[in-house]
Structure 1
Amino acid sequence: MQRVLRPRHEHDAMIDLASNDYLGLSRHPEVIDGAIEAVRAWGAGSTGSRLVTGDTDAHQQLEQELAAFTGAATGLVFATGYAANLGAVTALSDRDTLVVSDRTNHASLVDACRLSRARTEIVAHRDLDAMRDALEERDEERALLVTDSVFSADGDLAPLRAMHAICRATDAVLIADEAHGVGVRGDGGRGLLQECGLAGEPDVIITLTLSKALGSQGGMVLADEKVRDHLINTARSFIFDTGLAPASVGAARAALRVLRREPERATAVLDHARALAAAADVTEIPESAVVSVVLGDAATAVAAAERCAALGVRVGCFRPPSVPAGTSRLRLTARADLTTHEIDTVVEVLRAVLGENR
């Protein structure tokens, strides 16, 4: 079944349960103003790689502010979250490194493993025994254990405390992608690693994107100064990529200010996710903004998504190769700014559509 582009229109009236704008900040007036002010100060583009002309005071301020918010020592801004994952994994591995990766990790981590020169061991989803065995039995001197903190298709959580304990016992480094964790999990949205007490640990590296809960665009690696310096000098997706545009930097900084001031937004996301799960008869209590409604074959999932759209609700539709065959699904994403009226409408639509497909 062919994928097609479906452009949004400027005055789109559909209720959005498909985007990753978890905190509803992409259209927040302060966030828009932050982007505009940055453009006026620095121009429309960053003009070059960050090592040439693409670095600004605003880039470095964003790094400091987001590191302080999440509990990390420092950070490094990349042009995208995808580039951040590529840069972190490839720059911190070589032919004498084992990389252990969860089977359901995001494509950016999968591609990072493929591009690294390291031997990669793929383990079953959240299989702690397999992770431990791979790390204990390795011949390589160095090892990385890479994972999403919140998995994008199912919305479930990585067992980060147990994974970190395994890393400590086997002299490995944990790299966790907080793309779906920051803004939703942790104290006021500070992320799952902060919630687990692991942010700032010397053997923990955080990657994330600015394009989800923070409503902007770009990526970040959060670690200590030594790792930051190493990435600046060795991460190809940092060295050779044009720096993040000033508008995105300004928008992300403004979004972070709003989140600091309004930490209840993170709580609202999980509250709304529970309402969506109840409407879709999903028995598991959501642990993130993502509510996964497995329908089986791809045609059924696509038809259900199209029916929701016809009734005014946009939902995500995941099918192979994004998910395994036979597990095609609707992927519903909760937003902090959903109104009571919108939630009531969504409940009616989901019950009508899913009743037709079950």
Structure 2
Amino acid sequence: MTATEIRDPAGWLARLRRRRALRERAGLGRTLRSRDPTENVLDLAGNDYLGLTRDPRVLSAAAEALTMYGAGAGGSRLVRGSTRLHAQLEQAVAHLLGQPAALVFSSGYLANLAAVAGVVGPGTVIVRDAHVHASLIDACRLTGAQTEVAAHADVTDLAAKLEKFSARPLVVVTESVFSVDGDLAPLREVHALCRRFGAILVVDDAHAVGILGPDGGGAVRAAGLADEPDVVVTATLSKAFGAAGGIVAGPTDFIDHLMQTARPFIYDTALPPAITAAAHAALGIIRHSPELRDSVRRRAATAAEFLRSQGLTVVRTPAAGILAVAAPTAEAAVQWAAACHAEQVAVGCFRPPSTPDPISRLRLTVNARLSEEDFAAAVRVVVATAPAGRVSSRRHVPGSDED
């Protein structure tokens, strides 16, 4: 009998079990919890900022498209998956963002993979912000390009890195509103550096579109950078739009380039028409609902002020609908989130490696569907259930607004 024949065929599963045990011992285990549509929970965890997932106008548009086209798209966009609904959504999204053209993907993750790969060429150096979303990190890795990490929202460090590689083609990758802490990137300053060094700027605007900017057109448009030839914008339709899917918007030549060459577009089944129609209906509501957009920003700011007044550390000043509250340890964050859930309040629980630093957090998101009273009550639950060893606002949190 050979060595190959006596190897344990289940040995790799034993290794996975050991790795899981190590994660759980460090307080980093993950659990899937099924959500009941009738559950009586105040939602401070989801990304449905404007409460449009259940809006009757959105549901009606989805139902009509479902009846017309069926459950799925039937194929990739270049085969059978494209419908007039996809084209209408792309035109409307481009107009909202102030961009010449847009392309719809089946997820924001795939949109980011395509956008970053689309701007990288031979010899390109990517400089990304340290706090960008995992999809952007993966996108940078998958291109195979040399990637440098700039300190979070630090234009001085960004300038130094661009200067160091100024002889090479450059791409800068950032979020606008950062997904973990909810703070806003200094987009005007970042773009000025890109223009100075000839870099292309890719901005993931996922948590700003629908909340910031004219008509909810996002942080890039708010910064006056819409329709710049060296700016590419990505976003998801699963947050303020309350639907699903991703978008890339920018110069017409670039969008055509993605349609011709982007593997996450060419080889992926198209976004279902019903979801496409839902997102388009949501976009119309967003454009004509300044009170909804204003309420998200106002509630986030008010909650941050209250949490800080109660001795908790809000890691960064919220720019849109996200705020993060520091926890003493990963285990404490898990227990805190569970205590909130026991009081019928859902919160996000972010721990390393999902966080860009060693700090575990509760991530709270604003949902405009909640009444003012319910939102305030939910925030009070977060305070009431805080762990005894909580990080107070008087203790220094590295990288926080207290730096």
TM-score (norm 2): 0.86
- What is the CA–CA distance in structure 2 between the aligned matches of 1:92 and 1:324, rounded to whole Å? 25
- 1:179-203 deviation line (CA, Å, top 9, x unaligned): 1010111123211111100011111
Q: In structure 1, what is the equivalent of residue 169 of structure 2?
A: 142
Equivalent residue number for residue 401 of structure 2: none
Partner SS for 1:76 = strand
Q: State how far apart, in whole Å, the 2-side matches of 1:67 and 1:288 are.
A: 21
Matched, 1:7 2:34: yes
Q: CA RMSD in A?
A: 1.5
- Aligned pairs (5 A) from 1:198-217: 198-217=225-244
Question: Which digits, 9 at most, give the CA deviation of each residue in 1:29-77, with x for residues without a partner?
Answer: 1111111111122221111110111111110110000110111111000
Report what 2:83 is aligned to: 56
Separation (CA, whole Å) in 2 of partners of 1:126 and 1:92: 22
Q: Is the 8 A contact 1:215 1:255 kept in 2?
A: yes
Residue equivalent to 1:42: 69
Task: Quote the residue 1:328 is aligned against.
Answer: 360
Residue range with higher mean Cα deviation, 191-200 or 273-282:
273-282
How far apart, in 1, do the equivalents of 2:224 and 2:200 lie? 16
Residue 17 of structure 2 is matched in structure 1 by: none
Deviates more, 1:233-242 or 1:208-217: 233-242
Following the alignment from structure 1 to structure 2, what is the Cα–Cα distance between the partners of residues 66 and 216? 14
Q: Distance in 2 between matches of 1:255 and 1:324?
A: 31
SS at match of 1:45: coil
Aligned to 2:394: none
Per mean C-alpha deviation after superposition, the further-off stretch among 196-205 and 316-325 is 316-325
Which residues of 2 match residues 148-187 of structure 1 at below 5 A?
148-187=175-214
Amino acid corresponding to residue 353 of structure 1 in structure 2 = T
CA distance in structure 2 between the partners assigned to 1:141 and 1:54 by the alignment: 39
Q: 1:354 offset after TM fit, Å?
A: 2.2
1:201-350 alignment runs, 5 A limit: 201-281=228-308, 282=313, 285-324=317-356, 326-350=358-382
CA 1:344–1:88: 2 relative to 1, 3 Å: closer
Deviation by residue 1:202-221 (Cα, 9 ceiling, x = unmatched) = 11100000000000000000
Query: 2:300, 2:323 within 8 Å by CA — same for their partners in 1?
Result: yes
Q: CA deviation at 1:285?
A: 4.3
Distance 1:357 1:34, change over 3 A: farther
Which has the greater radius of gyration? 2
- Checking the alignment, whether the CA contact within 8 Å between 2:73 and 2:80 is kept in structure 1 is yes
Q: Equivalences for 1:62-81 in 2 at 5 Å? A: 62-81=89-108
Determine if contact 2:336/2:386 at 8 Å carries over to the other structure.
Answer: yes
User: Aligned residue pairs: how many?
Assistant: 358
**Counterpart contact for 1:67–1:75, Cα < 8 Å:** yes
Shift in CA distance, 140/108, structure 1 to aligned 2, threshold 3 Å: farther
Counterpart CA distance in 1 for 2:30 and 2:372 is: 33
Give the CA deviation at 1:124: 1.3
SS of residue matched to 2:182: coil
CA contact (8 A) 1:86 1:109 kept: yes
Instruction: Give the stretch that moved more between structures: 36-45 or 149-158.
Output: 36-45
Q: Give the whole-Å Cα distance in 2 for the aligned partners of 1:203 and 1:90.
A: 15
Deviation (angstroms), 1:279: 3.5
**1:171 to partner: Cα distance:** 0.7
Normalising to structure 1: TM-score of the pair?
Answer: 0.96
Paired with 1:357 and 1:232, the residues of 2 have a C-alpha distance of: 52
Unaligned 5+ runs, structure 1 = none
Query: Does 2:65 align with 1:33?
Result: no
- The structure-2 alpha-carbon separation of the partners of 1:354 and 1:223, relative to structure 1 and needing over 3 Å to count, comes to same
Asked whether the equivalents of residues 296 and 326 of structure 1 are also in contact (C-alpha less than 8 Å), the reply is no
2:46 aligned to which of 9, 16, 19:
19
Q: Which amino acid is the alignment partner of residue 330 of structure 1?
A: L
